[in-house]
Chain A
Amino acid sequence: MLLHRLVAVSPMLLCACFCLVSFPPNLLQLLLPRVSYLPVVTDKVKKHFLKVMRPEDVEEMWFEYEGTPLKWHYPIGVLFDLHASNTVLPWNITVHFKNFPDQDLLHCPSNSIVEAHFMSSIKEADSLKHKSQVVNDMQKKDHKQLWMGLQNDKFDQFWAMNRKLMEYPTEDGGFRYIPFRIYQTLSDRPFIQKLFRPVSPDCNAHTLGDLLKEMYPDALTNDGEQKRYQVLIHGIEPLLETPLQWLSEHLSHPDNFLHICVVPVPTD
């Protein structure tokens, strides 16, 4: 549980320096939580900049970093690890209020869209873990509690419900399949997501290394080679022998997925 707290509660620092494209420079510094989503935590941004802009200039708000529009439906931590894990902090991202890039980003007019996306991730994860039994047994108010716990940064409220999603029958030794996504920077594919069991047929626990060997063998360093890639979860590199079941239980994001970022090792 101690680890849970470390991961879920501690926000990552994102210092965002926002520059308006056509206005005098305006800065805002924020600490954003890793586990949340951009539209949920950036109300303050909107309010701040609306004060200095003309109302007719304001359309939908969107963020970009070094020319890449940031997908709001990824958790903030994932975005950071993927784009800027080895850059100097603070992480400067730019906010725009015009010219929404329809090809690259989904529209997000309100927080209820984020809530819908979040809940659908949870349900997808549970369908992999428990054939959707646990999430379907929950009542609507329990689902609401999960979302509210995330939105309002209430650790205990969230985990009261999330506990149920992390249980499994002891004879199975783990979940049915592990919900995970592997993000890569250098590929056009959005992410890798496949079925993978936590326990091998001969009852050995699968490790992180086993998963990578199966799904993304390039990420692993062969003997004798230089390390080319970093495998990041929540901004840290766990050892490859860490059991996958444990990782899924303890290092998943609030949407119950294990988001793994594979980034190239910095060259300088």
Chain B
Amino acid sequence: MAERQADCGWKRHISDQLKLRDRVQRHTFEEIVQQYNRLLEKSDLQAVLTERYQTEKYDVQRGHEASSLDASRSDSLHQEMSQMRIRHQEELTELHKKRGELAQTVIELNNQIQQKDREIQSNEARMLEYQQQIAGLDGDCRDLRSSLQVRLHEEAHDGEVNTVRFSPGSRLLATGGMDRRVKLWEVVAGRCEAKGALTGSNAGITSIDFDSAGSYLLAASNDFASRIWTMDDYRLRHTLTGHSGKVLSARFLLDNARIVSGSYDRTLKLWDLRSKVCTSSVTPVPSCLLTCLHLENARNLKMAPLMTSSVTLHHSCYHSHHHDVDSVCVFSAQGFKCGADWTRVTFSPDGSYVAGGSADGALYVWNVLTGKLDRTLDRNHSSAINCVSWSPSGTYVASVEKGSRAILWSDM
């Protein structure tokens, strides 16, 4: 126990001594030292600031003058200083004002930006809508096009294909070209299969016609003659000569016993099939070239595509050697141009549409009642379309072009 007490004794002594030491040596001076150091820092700072101020505002000269303790000098010094102070105050207020204005401008600009952002957003939304619409329409287009089937026949002929005609039964397609041949094709399930060729012409074929039964084929040719073949055996039966120019077009009349042919020599000749002679010859239109004959009922409706960009429907009545030519209506379309003098157009079987091929290889279809362009089928022909034929069944349209290609369009 004594040892414990002794222990505590010297320990306590040490701790007391330390506390005393600290009190004497530290606490009494701590405060003073801190304050002193703070003052020192402040005076240092003061010295730095005044030095900077002096070098900026006054030169060394000025400093020397100030130290000369002249009363008047110190007065003027005061005045200058107060003037400078005033000027600085003014500048300060100016700057404050300007800052306010700039802040205002900033706010306005921000508003404008927000507005523009909103507009952009709405525009984008609309664009999105339109794009969706376009996508939809594209889809529709593609559907339509795929439904519109096309059957190509490259090299239908060696050389230009001038004319094409469906047989009355819509099963046969006849094409004629500069290779002096009439090629026959069978149309089966949307395809064309070559069936045969009719020879005998000495020059390019300009026009083909079937009789109403489909048993005879009439072809007009550049060798100034028209020929007739039988369809059962593809044999040439008759040759009708007499024109003094290229025969541009020949047609059976409704009774299948007579043929009318138009020629480059500006005559229309009427032939009788039984006697195989020309019964009459007319010169109907002095100036225009007969390029196409289309018979409807008892009247002759000639459609003469003039060398312009429109198709003129002529109404003419053929009886007893005279005729009237009236223009019934004009079909035109942008881009439609006749490829040649003998470019043909055709009515649809129900008479409600007119189809014509143009120089740029596009097939134009007009609505007869409205007179407006119904469809444009392009991108299949590579050169000017020479002739168009609508099948009597109405499902197919055949078009032929200069570049010896024949195209069968289905689902018309």
Contacts and interface: CB of A to CB of B under 8 A. Distances in A.
A30 B10 contact: no
B25 A239 contact: no
A129 B32 CA distance: 42
Q: 8 tightest CB-CB pairs across the interface, nearest first? A: A236-B17, A239-B10, A242-B10, A13-B29, A29-B36, A6-B18, A13-B26, A235-B21
A21 interface: no
A15 interface: yes
Nearest to A207: B10
Given A12-B25, A241-B6, A29 B18 contact: no
A205 to B, nearest CB: 10
A86 to B, nearest CB: 11
A15 B21 CA distance: 15
Contact of B17 (A30, A48, A237, A243): A237
Contacts of B57: none
A238 interface: yes
B18 A15 contact: no
A238 B37 CA distance: 34
A239 B26 contact: no
Interface string B8-20: 0111011101111
Given A6-B15, A241-B10, 9 more contacts: A12-B21, A12-B26, A13-B25, A13-B29, A31-B26, A48-B40, A235-B25, A236-B14, A251-B14
Interface of B: 6, 9-11, 13-15, 17-22, 24-26, 28-30, 32-33, 36-37, 40
A90 interface: yes
B17 A238 contact: yes
A204 to B, nearest CB: 12
A90 B14 CA distance: 24
Contacts of A15: 29, 33
B52 to A, nearest CB: 16
26 contacts: A2-B15, A3-B11, A3-B18, A6-B15, A6-B18, A10-B18, A11-B26, A12-B21, A12-B25, A12-B26, A13-B25, A13-B26, A15-B33, A28-B40, A29-B32, A29-B33, A89-B25, A89-B28, A89-B29, A235-B21, A236-B17, A237-B17, A238-B10, A238-B17, A239-B13, A241-B6
A3 B10 CA distance: 13
Interface in A226-267: 234-239, 241-243, 251
A19 interface: no
Given A238-B13, A239-B13, A241-B10, A90 B18 contact: no
Interface in A1-53: 2-3, 6-7, 10-13, 15, 28-31, 48
Contacts of A90: 29
Nearest to A251: B14
A234 B29 contact: no
A interface bracket (residues with beta carbon within 8 Å of B):
20 to 34
A10 B17 contact: no
Contacts of A234: 18, 21
Nearest to B30: A31
Interface string A108-148: 00000000000000000000000000000000000000000
B41 to A, nearest CB: 11
A5 B14 CA distance: 13
B18 A236 contact: yes
A155 to B, nearest CB: 15
Contacts of B10: 238-239, 241-243
Contacts of B18: 3, 6-7, 10, 234, 236
Contacts of B25: 12-13, 89, 235
Nearest to B14: A238
Contacts of B19: 6
Nearest to B44: A51
A73 to B, nearest CB: 23
A29 B37 contact: yes
Given A238-B10, A238-B14, A239-B13, A10 B32 contact: no
Nearest to B17: A236
A3 B15 contact: yes
Contacts of B9: 239, 241
